[in-house]
Amino acid sequence: MSYNWHAILGGLLGGVLAALVAGYATSQMLPATTEVAISDMVWAGVAAAVGGVLGVVAGWLVNRRRGNGLGGIAAIVSLLAALNGTFSWFREFGGLYDVLPLLTRTILLLGGGLILMTLVCGLTAALLRVQSVPQEQAQL
């Protein structure tokens, strides 16, 4: 069994990029109140999704535009972005809520973030697979 180190490195670098964007989206774009408007949540989600797309593209470029490893890159980017987005929100707004509402909102944010990032990153990986270098040329 051999590891695709370029894909792992690309996933980690893309994941850090997406995590920074998701962390900014959840900690800075959402208002510091207990009642958040749906439009604010949508815009924060769109910003995090754009960060996920950029993260997968950056990982694909680090992987030398090969199709092998794109699924792993998308998975790493999705996980890092969702975890950091949730952590950034918790760190910024955790003091506004009691324990049970805080736990509920944290779980919902993590679950929603994972679903959003998985959809966006997986779709980006599927679209990039078509644009990837053919397998014969990737061996050179």
Terminal Cα distance for the chain, rounded: 20
Does pLDDT of 137 surpass 80? no
**For residues 40 and 140, what is the distance between their CA atoms, to the nearest angstrom?**
48
Mean pLDDT for 94-109 is: 90
Q: Residue 39's pLDDT is what?
A: 93
Average per-residue pLDDT in the chain? 93
Would you place residue 95 in the very low, low, confident or very high pLDDT band (cuts 50, 70, 90)? Answer: confident
pTM of the model: 0.91
> How far is residue 140 from each of residues 8, 16, 58, 130, measured CA to CA in Å?
20, 29, 22, 19
The predicted-structure confidence for 74-90, as pLDDT tens digits, reads as follows: 999 999 999 999 999 99
Q: Residue 138's pLDDT is what?
A: 58
- The partner residues of 133 in beta bridges, in order of sequence, read 66
